Structure 1
Amino acid sequence: MRIYKVGGAVRDRLLGIPVTDIDWVVVGATTEEMLAKGFRPVGADFPVFLHPKSGEEYALARTERKSGRGYGGFTFHASPEVTLEEDLIRRDLTINAMAEDDQQNLTDPYHGQRDLEARLLRHVSPAFAEDPLRVLRVARFAARYAALGFTVAPETLELMRQLSESGELEALTPERSWKEISRALMEDQPQVFIEVLRACGALKVLMPEVDALFGVPQPPAHHPEIDTGAHTLSVLEQAALHKQPLTVRWACLLHDLGKGLTPEEEWPRHIAHEFKGLKLIKAVNERFKAPRDCQELAMLVGEYHTHGHRALELKPSTLLELLQSFDIYRRPHRFEEFIAACEMDARGREGLEQRSYPQADYLRGAATAARSIAVQPLLEKGFKGPELGEAIKRERLKALKAYKEQV
């Protein structure tokens, strides 16, 4: 039995960045031997075990063979005869196909260290094209390591293009796709994830609604970058720079989908794009079974982001309707995320990345004014049922009028 550290732990150590997760591969062992040493089995499809003390994952060396469509269409074979090199060749990228023993002696049969130095994301073998999930994984790694200068090798991008055109991406389950998308959006440069998917044709397959934004012009007075797709990438970049949560980043990606539906003869204006985009946002949400909080914020930001930008001009009645739509009384956090998404949208424009956004504090103040209305005095005056609701609404409207005059 020989044990090796593999994959990301080796890669990140060589890059000089913190190692978070450690995976191990065990060569020359059987399931029975692992159980005898106290390892606990966890793998349903192939032999993976948890270390009795550290809880880290140890997998028996294995080979795999394509046996069906999609990410799960593989047959695995694990036995003591499988070599380390045979286990490593089934991995996606050369930089993830290195191993080291307990003395940090490197096993690198597919030149991962060379590609690390060249800052290249390159596939290990032609078998890369058998797993459609790898298109998303490579795009995610490109987003993660973009700041270090990594790019996708041309021949790997070509394989990703072939996969995108093969129909295999449609075999991915919503759950697997969302797991990669959500992780990619939380990388330091999530816009690179979208750029790589677009470069290999995968964006058109997975999110045609986002792909359709590229080449669609906007008024240069408001959008110096002009192209709607370029603007979306910039908004996503700003969301990452400002350490926004996944909900905000997802909303930023989808907020302008309605502009992809504007007839060319109406360009560069996009009248009512907020409402037109809602059915597209809903479709993307459902396609990937995004979590409920992500779905809800994306819909609300899509519908109301221009209200956010025009906050200082809104009539008190319109402002109250906006606050009611977000249920600021029970869910104040969601309104904060809306404000954040609006600010990222305002900053995601060429040359305007450092602009101030006074609408943010104005909206927070309006929410505070509306929330300041106490219900108890109205109850004491005898209001109840629908009349109580109307009385609360009147008082909140009064408070917003006073707030607007004061500001």
Structure 2
Amino acid sequence: MQIFKVGGAVRDRLLGRPVSDIDWLVVGATVEQMLELGYRPVGDDFPVFLHPQTGEEYALARTERKSGQGYGGFTFHASPEVSIEEDLIRRDLTINAMAEDAQGQLFDPYGGQRDLAARLLRHVSPAFAEDPLRVLRVARFAARYAPLGFSVAAETLALMRQLSESGELQALTAERSWKEISRALLEPRPDVFIQVLRDCGALASLLPEVDALFGVPQTATHHPEIDTGVHLLMVLQQCALHDQPLTVRWACLLHDLGKGTTLACEWPRHIAHEVRGLKLIRAVNARCKAPKDCQELALLVGEYHTHGHRALELKASTLFELLQRFDVYRRPQRFEEFLQACEMDARGRLGFEQRDYPQAAYLQAAMQAARAVAVQPLLEQGLTGAALGEALNRARLQALTQFRQSQRQAQANATH
């Protein structure tokens, strides 16, 4: 019986990166032996055990064979006869197919170290093409390691393209896809994730609404980068640079979907793309089974991001309606995330990356002015129910009118 560290723990140690989770592999043991040693079984499909002291996962060496469609379409075989080499060959990438024994000796039968040095994400064997989830995983690794200079090997990209064209991606469950997509969006280069999916044809299969943005032109005055898809990639880069949460990154991914439906004869203008995009955002939200907070923010950003950009021009009544729509009195954090998404959208343009975004501070101040309206004086007037609500709304609108006037006066004073 031998115990090895495998996968990411070995890879990240060799890259000099912090190691958080350790995967352990047990070669030459039976289920009975593991139970006798006090390990607790947890695996349904194949034998995985929890260490009696540390609680870490230990898996028996196994082989796998394709037996159906999709991520779950595999038959596993675990036995004491399965060697370390046989277990490692079923893994996705060479850099994830290395092992280390208790003495620190490295087992690297498939050239993982070589590909680490070459900064290549390369598949271990042709069996890579049997698992559609690996398309998303490789794109996610590309997003994680792009800052270190990693790219996907040409032959691996070809296999990913083959998987995309086979229709196997449609067999992925929404839960598995969302897990990979959400993790990838939080990597240092989420734009690389989208680009790699596009390069292998998977974006058109998984997120056709996003894929449709590429090649669609915008007005050069506002978007010097022209291409809507390129703009999207730049917005995602800004999200990572400014360490935005998943809700904001998801909203930014979907904020311009309506532009993909603009008729070519109307290019480069995209009138009412905000409203046209809502149906598409709902479709993507539902298909990916995104969490509720991600779904809500994506729809609000899609509909109102141009309001954010035009904040300084908005009438008091429009400001009031915007704040009401976001329910800033009970959910101010959601409005803050909206402002962050708007700022990422504004910065995700060629030459605008370092530009200030005063609209965010302006709208934050407007929110504070509306939230500062006290309800107690209205209650003391004996107002209740609908009458109280109407009076409160009038008071908030009045506060926003005064806020807007004071802001315009301050601006006028500053220019003289």
TM-score range, shorter chain: over 0.9
Partner of 1:102 in structure 2?
102
Cα distance, 1:256 vs structure 2: 0.2
Partner of 2:293 in structure 1?
293
* 1:92 equivalenced with 2:92 (yes/no): yes
**How many residue pairs get matched?**
407
Q: Deviations over 1:323-343 (max 9, x none)?
A: 011110111110000000000
Cα distance, 1:53 vs structure 2: 1.4
**RMSD across aligned positions (CA):** 0.6
* Counterpart Cα distance in 1 of 2:186 and 2:41: 31
* 1:151 equivalenced with 2:170 (yes/no): no
Gaps of 5+ in 2: 408-416
User: What are the residue-to-residue correspondences of 1:303-322 with 2, within 5 Å?
Assistant: 303-322=303-322
* Counterpart Cα distance in 2 of 1:36 and 1:406: 76
SS in 2 for 1:277: helix
* Counterpart Cα distance in 2 of 1:150 and 1:12: 14
* Counterpart Cα distance in 2 of 1:381 and 1:324: 24
* Counterpart Cα distance in 2 of 1:147 and 1:23: 25
Partner of 2:370 in structure 1?
370
Partner of 2:274 in structure 1?
274
Q: Deviations over 1:273-317 (max 9, x none)?
A: 000000000000000100000000000000000000001100000
Partner of 1:337 in structure 2?
337
Q: Deviations over 1:52-78 (max 9, x none)?
A: 111111100000000100000000000
- Runs of 4+ that moved beyond 3 A: none
Cα distance, 1:21 vs structure 2: 0.8
- Identify the range of structure 1 (35-44 vs 63-72) with the bigger mean alpha-carbon deviation: 35-44
* Counterpart Cα distance in 1 of 2:314 and 2:39: 63
* Counterpart Cα distance in 1 of 2:23 and 2:170: 30
* Counterpart Cα distance in 1 of 2:158 and 2:365: 52
* TM-score calculated relative to the size of structure 1: 0.99
Q: Deviations over 1:249-279 (max 9, x none)?
A: 0000000000000000100000000000000
Cα distance, 1:23 vs structure 2: 0.2
* Counterpart Cα distance in 1 of 2:248 and 2:380: 41
Gaps of 5+ in 1: none
Q: Deviations over 1:201-254 (max 9, x none)?
A: 000000000000000000000001000000001001100100000000000000
* 1:34 equivalenced with 2:34 (yes/no): yes
* Counterpart Cα distance in 2 of 1:305 and 1:104: 53
SS in 1 for 2:226: coil
- Identify the range of structure 1 (286-295 vs 45-54) with the bigger mean alpha-carbon deviation: 45-54
SS in 2 for 1:307: helix
Matched-pair identity in %: 78
Amino acid at match of 2:72: G
Partner of 2:242 in structure 1?
242
Cα distance, 1:119 vs structure 2: 0.4
Partner of 2:412 in structure 1?
none
* Counterpart Cα distance in 1 of 2:53 and 2:322: 53
SS in 1 for 2:63: strand
Cα distance, 1:102 vs structure 2: 1.2
* TM-score calculated relative to the size of structure 2: 0.97
* Counterpart Cα distance in 1 of 2:136 and 2:189: 15
SS in 2 for 1:322: helix
SS in 2 for 1:3: strand
* Counterpart Cα distance in 2 of 1:52 and 1:189: 38
Cα distance, 1:383 vs structure 2: 1.8
Amino acid at match of 2:393: K
Partner of 1:48 in structure 2?
48
SS in 1 for 2:160: helix
* Counterpart Cα distance in 1 of 2:184 and 2:55: 26
SS in 2 for 1:75: strand
Q: Deviations over 1:2-54 (max 9, x none)?
A: 00000000001111111111001000001111111111111111000111111
Cα distance, 1:382 vs structure 2: 2.1
